[in-house]
Amino acid sequence: MVKQFSIFLENKPGRLSNLIDLFERNQIRVLAMGIAEAGNYGIVRCILDAPEKAAEALRNANTAVNLVEVLIIDMEDLHNAVKVLGEKGINVDYAYTMDLGRIVIKVDDESKAKNALSEAGIKTY
Amino acid sequence: MSIQAYSMGKKEIKEVQSRKLKEVVARVYENSPFYRRRLKEAGIDITNFRPEDIRKIPFTTKTDLRDNYPLGLISVDKSKIVRMHASSGTTGNPTVVAYTKRDIDAWAELNKRCLEVCGVTSDDVVQVAYGYGLFTGGLGLHYGAERLGSKVIPASTGNTKRQLKLMKDLGTTVLACTPSYALFLSESAKEEGIDPKKDLKLRVGVLGAEPWSESTRKVLEEEFVQSAHDIYGMSELNGPGVAIECRKKNGLHVWEDHYFVEIIDPNTGEVLEPGEKGEMVVTTLEKEGMPLLRYRTRDITILDDEVCECGMAHARIKKILGRTDDMLKIRGICIFPSQIEEVISGFEGLTPFYQLVVDRDGPLDRLLVKVEVSENFKSDRLTEIVDLQKRLEEELRDVLSISAAVELTEPRTLPRSEGKAQRIIDLRKI
């Protein structure tokens, strides 16, 4: 299971740049990123290559950040994966693509989803 | 003297007040040309003055102080004045207040009483982080703590890192400052790697000079100081030490042997009953240098004349709801920042810092409430955040009777203050 960073940001020019700057300064690589916005604010969701360092850097910068467990699967398994999840009554809350032909999925029951996918022979990261 | 003040019963207080009211009216009539003229014009009979005649005396206002700048309202010979304090005077002449030696002494005594009511003793280390200087907060609490025999640290305002270092190294047990500065100190402590629970010994907070809410108390008592008490005063009434919250924290006891309190309707001037909300009007009973009759404080509160569970009979005022000058009139409706603070406090993941921006859209006033999220804000589900914003807006509409837009801002983005917080930005052009 992978930890995703969910960061609250105001929806204003320069805010995202500040955030990415912070990652750069701390040599943290962004592996995947999605943004959801609502009016004057939004949530930046991302997968980072150095989670512990990132958590510390974000805390020091007084960011409102939550860590959330997500699943990562290969894009080629997408069709099968959502079918299995749907059959088991597991909901996909949101998803966004990632480098290396992968996709990040947030479901409402991570451990159940992980078991279901593994039983169906689908690789998760 | 103190023990006597704490144990006074209702009857005794009323008797003392009746006697002192008559005395102060006679004194200002004798010594202040300003009041002699006022009292004559109002047809007040000085020789047969009865306590209920107080209601016939015209109010004294801040404008009277300004119009008689600098010392037109003193009631003693100038040679007896030993101290003068002054307000900032951003909107014209400052208001000057003058003390005799006896006034300074009484002021020290009242602040000592306030500290004692909060449970402060001679063993305590009292850090006074109110401004020292023309502002009365610093010196008032300083005198009180010194008279009590506590160890006083006259830190004054500012230099937050040093404040925290003093607190830690000198073992401060009592902190006296504005509530907004206490919040800022609490937040800064964490940044400095200081855990207030482990590294500091703050027992009592004596917090005043601006209105603050139960939610601020909750935050401060959970994170910073064991017991946070509201203290009330203003330079026109000596400074801090007019009223204090006891351990029951159910209103602030006014030292009624020094101050006679009335609550009035700010629009009509009519005196209201205990339990009714209005502007507090105070007559000073002991002040010698510059006594004031029926001074309009512009603070909005409610009087409770029942004997408190703590045993003291001195009447209580509710925590100040706001000032008549802080009162925002939006679309004809009166709004106090404290009402907004109470609403915000009911939600998790938000800080006590907020800002109100009033603007005009054509003929219509618009209120924007900027609310800062904390680092613990739940920030993954957009629907939850949108829902929180909606609930905030709904609750504000219920409480204020007008609609307000809520804008959520990132942690540490709204201004902090070391003195009184600036929370209102009014962009309306008249």
DSSP B197-220: HHH----EEEEESS---HHHHHHH
Q: According to the 3-state scheme, what is the secondary structure of B228-269?
A: EEEEEEEHHHCEEEEEEECCCCCCEEECCCCEEEEEECCCCC
Which tokens sit at B246?
């006891």
Contact B232, B208 (CB under 8 A): yes
Contact B257, B302 (CB under 8 A): no
| Predicted confidence band of residue B430 (pLDDT cuts 50, 70, 90) | low
Amino acid at site A106: K
Which tokens sit at B26?
């006679």
Residue B382 to residue A15, Cβ atoms within 8 A: no
* Predicted model pTM: 0.78
Closest CA of chain B from A81, distance in Å: 23
pLDDT in tens, B373-390: 999 898 899 999 999 999
Of A62, A66, A68, the CB nearest to B412: A62
Residue A62 to residue B375, Cβ atoms within 8 A: yes
DSSP result, B167-203: HHHTT--EEEE-HHHHHHHHHHHHHTT--HHHH----
Least trusted range by pLDDT, from A21-25, B286-290, B325-329: B325-329
Can you give the pLDDT at residue B416?
85
Q: What is the mean pLDDT of residues B330-334?
A: 80
Count Cβ atoms within 10 A of the Cβ of residue A87 and give its class: 0-12 exposed, 13-18 middle, 19 or more buried.
exposed
Closest CA of chain A from B181, distance in Å: 19
Amino acid at site B344: I
Contact B213, B338 (CB under 8 A): yes
Cα B192 to Cα A66, A120, B164, B187, B411: the distances in Å are: 23, 51, 9, 9, 17
**B259 pLDDT higher than 50:** yes
**B59 pLDDT higher than 80:** yes
Cα B291 to Cα A113, B97, B134, B283, B347: the distances in Å are: 77, 10, 19, 8, 45
Q: What is the mean pLDDT of residues B287-310?
A: 96
Amino acid at site A16: L
Per-residue pLDDT of chain A (125 residues; tens, 9 = 90+): 799 999 999 999 999 999 999 999 999 999 999 999 988 999 999 999 999 999 999 999 999 999 999 999 999 999 999 999 999 999 999 999 998 899 999 999 999 999 999 999 999 99
Which tokens sit at B367?
């209120």
Give residue ranges of A with CB < 8 Å to any B CB.
6-10, 15, 36-43, 45, 59, 62-66, 68, 93
Can you give the pLDDT at residue B368?
94
Q: What is the mean pLDDT of residues B192-221?
A: 93
Can you give the pLDDT at residue B211?
85
Give residue ranges of B with CB < 8 Å to any A CB.
349, 373-382, 385-386, 389, 407-413
ipTM of the complex: 0.84
Domain architecture of chain A: domains with CATH: 2-69 (3.30.2130.10), 70-119 (no CATH)
Closest CA of chain B from A53, distance in Å: 17
Percent of all residues in chain B with a pLDDT value above 70, rounded to a whole number: 97
Q: Give the integer Cα–Cα distance in Å for B31 and B290.
A: 10
| Predicted confidence band of residue B43 (pLDDT cuts 50, 70, 90) | very high
Can you give the pLDDT at residue B327?
77
Q: What is the mean pLDDT of residues B281-301?
A: 97
**B367 pLDDT higher than 60:** yes
Contact B209, B187 (CB under 8 A): no
Which among B118, B114, B140 is positioned nearest to B235, based on CA atoms?
A: B140
Of B385, B410, B412, the CB nearest to A38: B385
Which positions in chain B touch A12 (Cβ < 8 Å)? Answer: none
Give the residue on B whose Cα is nearest the Cα of A15: B410
**B332 pLDDT higher than 80:** no
**B1 pLDDT higher than 50:** no
Amino acid at site B84: M
Residue A43 to residue B385, Cβ atoms within 8 A: yes
Host H or E run for residue A13: none
Q: What is the mean pLDDT of residues B55-83?
A: 95
Of A10, A36, A38, the CB nearest to B410: A10
Give the residue on B whose Cα is nearest the Cα of A9: B410
DSSP state of A49: S
Q: Give the integer Cα–Cα distance in Å for B115 and B145.
A: 7
Domain architecture of chain B: domains with CATH: 1-323 (3.40.50.12780), 328-426 (3.30.300.30)
- The residue whose two tokens read 């937050």 is B160
**B4 pLDDT higher than 60:** yes
Angle B277-B258-B121 (CA atoms, 0-180°, nearest 5)? 100
Q: What is the mean pLDDT of residues B286-310?
A: 96
H helical segments located in A34-109: 51-60, 78-87
| Phi then psi dihedrals of residue B329, to 5 deg | -100, 110
Q: Give the integer Cα–Cα distance in Å for A3 and A67.
A: 6
- The residue whose two tokens read 């610093």 is B138
Tell me how long chain A is: 125
DSSP state of B60: B
Of B382, B389, B412, the CB nearest to A43: B382
**B335 pLDDT higher than 90:** no
